[in-house]
């Protein structure tokens, strides 16, 4: 391992010189293939911390799909049912635990995950590499690679796919630094441990948070720990289904993440799964088309006749009433917020996407209003007392 690594450029081509380096000791990573850039390494190091903490908290292999220093998806290894296999395009694959984790992380928000950086908590095996080889992706970080997996990954992007090996035993210094406008900032690392002990303070009337929801709330909070603030995360069955990142208003985070969660669930509607695409339509084009099909803009597409280039037969769009009726069957969703909810409107929006469990720091002057809104919908909410801003 080297002490420093020169990069082609920084965030943009005009930002030179660029490198990553250690002030003391050697870099805890090795580039096995490709030439990762500045943003690649920001994604790699943030996403690695996320999956490492997910595995430590849940005991399950974990994966993340990262874009522009925020996760597009995160998940732990859980079995996929037939519907999930279909909408994640993995019906023909026998998935290992780490492969199932990545399929779930990549599949929840496929549009945002396009061209992602991948992080795995466990060594990458052959089936996971095969899954990655079919997707548009920039690179991967993992604590190990099977020989067969490495050979598959090295062929991706005409041999230029970025493959990074991380030392899973590396522990960073407790103090971190960052330069902005020539001025150095210093702070202690955010080493706050996220576990079930955070969910003991439940101010709502409904105080029942089952073990499965506690796991999902931990996944939400750990995901938020590495998401640009303001941020909100919806989780169901061990995977993030909607992440809202970097918004100035918290309710905009809640809406953005809730819309993504809705899209994830609408993709499971029988009418959407039965769409008959013409041969030759690629996976990314199908993702984009499905997103339009379940949006309110699809009627304009029908009027323009664009469907003729995509489908073998004219599909029947879902009405707003049909979509609402389907979304009303979504239940058991957990929601985490990196800071307190200032108004009950966040809870109103969360309820529309099946949220039944919430974890947030508490501490707003309007906590009473937020609690009352939760009680209106029988939502169980825990005050963690822990803010998770990430910048």
pLDDT band at 1 (very low <50, low <70, confident <90, very high): low
**Residue 309 pLDDT grade (very low, low, confident, very high; cuts 50, 70, 90):** confident
| CA atoms of 255 and 318, how far apart (whole Å) | 21
Identify whether the C-beta of residue 73 lies closer than 8 Å to the C-beta of residue 53: no
Residue 124: alpha-carbon gap to chain centroid: 19
Which residue is associated with the tokens 């069955």? 237
pLDDT in the model for residue 304: 65
- For range 263-286, the mean pLDDT: 90
Spatial distance between the Cα atoms of 62 and 40, rounded to a whole number of angstroms: 19
pLDDT of residue 321: 93
Mean pLDDT of 15-24: 93
State how far the alpha carbon of 65 is from the alpha carbons of 72, 106, 156, in Å. Answer: 5, 6, 17
Q: What confidence score (pLDDT) does residue 301 get?
A: 62
- The CA R_g of the chain, rounded to the nearest whole Å, is 21
Provide the pLDDT for residue 288: 85
Instruction: Decide which of 301 and 243 is more confident.
Output: 243
Output the CATH code of domain 25-171.
Answer: 3.40.140.20
Is 124 or 366 the better-scoring residue by pLDDT? 124
Domains in the chain: boundaries = 25-171, 195-266+331-383, 270-317
**Per-residue confidence (pLDDT) for residue 303, from 0 to 100:** 62
CATH topology of domain 270-317: Helix Hairpins (1.10.287)
Bridge partners for 70 per DSSP:
67
pLDDT bin (cut points 50, 70, 90) of residue 123 is: very high
| High-pLDDT (> 90) share of the chain, % | 82
Specify whether 252 is catalytic. Answer: no
Q: Which of 40, 46, 230, 346 is catalytic?
A: 230
Catalytic residue among 52, 67, 225, 351: 67
Q: Is 67 designated active site?
A: yes
Q: What is the pLDDT of residue 300?
A: 66
Contacts of 288 (CB under 8 A, 6+ apart): 111
171 burial level (CB within 10 Å; 0-12, 13-18, 19+): exposed
Please give the Cα distance from 371 to 269 (Å, whole number).
Answer: 33
Report how far residue 100's alpha carbon sits from residue 94's, in angstroms, rounded to the nearest whole number. 9
Same fold, 195-266+331-383 and 270-317: no
Mean pLDDT of the region 200-205: 97
Q: What is the pLDDT of residue 305?
A: 66
pLDDT tens digits, residue range 162-187? 999 999 999 999 999 999 999 999 99
Tell me the mean pLDDT in the region 242-269. Answer: 94
* Average pLDDT score over the chain: 93
Say if residue 238's pLDDT is above 70. Answer: yes
| Residue 51: Cβ-neighbour burial (10 angstroms; 0-12, 13-18, 19+) | buried
pLDDT tens figures, 31-57: 999 999 999 999 999 999 999 999 999
Q: How confident is the model at residue 310 (pLDDT cuts 50, 70, 90)?
A: confident
Query: Residue 192, Cα to own-chain centre: how many angstroms?
Result: 20
Name the CATH code of domain 195-266+331-383 (choices 3.30.230.10, 3.40.640.10, 3.40.1160.10, 3.40.140.20).
3.40.140.20
| 58, pLDDT greater than 70 | yes
Out of 68, 130, 205, 390, which one is annotated catalytic?
68
pLDDT of residue 81: 93
Mean pLDDT throughout 336-346? Answer: 93
């Amino acid at each position: 391992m080297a002490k420093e690594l020169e990069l082609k450029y920084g965030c943009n081509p005009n930002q030179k010189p660029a490198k990553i380096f250690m002030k003391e000791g050697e870099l805890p990573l090795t580039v096995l293939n490709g030439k990762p850039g500045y943003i690649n390494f920001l994604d790699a190091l943030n996403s690695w911390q996320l999956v490492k903490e997910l595995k430590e908290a849940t005991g399950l292999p974990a994966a993340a799909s990262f874009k522009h220093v925020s996760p597009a998806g995160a998940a732990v290894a859980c079995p996929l049912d037939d519907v999930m296999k279909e909408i994640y395009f993995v019906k023909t694959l026998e998935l290992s635990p780490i492969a199932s984790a990545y399929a779930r992380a990549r599949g929840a928000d496929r549009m945002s995950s396009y061209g992602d950086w991948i992080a795995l908590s466990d060594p990458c095996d052959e089936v996971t590499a095969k899954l990655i080889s079919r997707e548009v992706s920039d690179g991967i970080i993992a604590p190990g690679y099977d020989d067969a997996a490495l050979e598959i990954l090295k062929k991706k992007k005409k041999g230029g796919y970025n493959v990074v090996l991380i030392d899973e035993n590396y522990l960073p210094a407790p103090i971190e630094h960052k330069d902005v406008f020539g001025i150095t900032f210093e702070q202690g690392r955010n080493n706050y441990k996220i576990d079930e002990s955070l969910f003991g303070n439940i101010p709502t009337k409904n105080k029942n948070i089952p073990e499965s929801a506690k796991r999902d709330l931990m996944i939400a909070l750990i995901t938020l720990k590495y998401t640009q603030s303001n941020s909100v995360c919806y989780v169901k069955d061990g995977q993030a289904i909607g992440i809202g990142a970097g918004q100035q208003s918290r309710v905009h985070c809640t809406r953005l993440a809730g819309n993504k969660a809705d899209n994830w669930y609408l993709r499971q509607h029988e009418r959407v799964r039965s769409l008959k695409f013409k041969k030759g339509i690629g996976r990314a084009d199908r993702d984009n088309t499905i997103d339009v099909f379940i949006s309110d803009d699809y009627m304009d597409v029908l009027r323009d006749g664009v469907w003729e280039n995509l489908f073998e037969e004219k599909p029947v769009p879902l009405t707003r009433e049909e979509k609402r009726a389907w979304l009303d069957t979504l239940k058991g969703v957990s929601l985490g917020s990196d800071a307190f909810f200032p108004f009950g409107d966040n809870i109103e929006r969360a309820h529309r996407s099946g949220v039944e469990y919430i974890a947030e720091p508490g501490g707003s002057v309007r906590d009473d209003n937020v609690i009352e809104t939760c009680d209106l919908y029988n939502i169980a909410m825990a005050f963690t007392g822990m803010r998770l801003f990430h910048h």
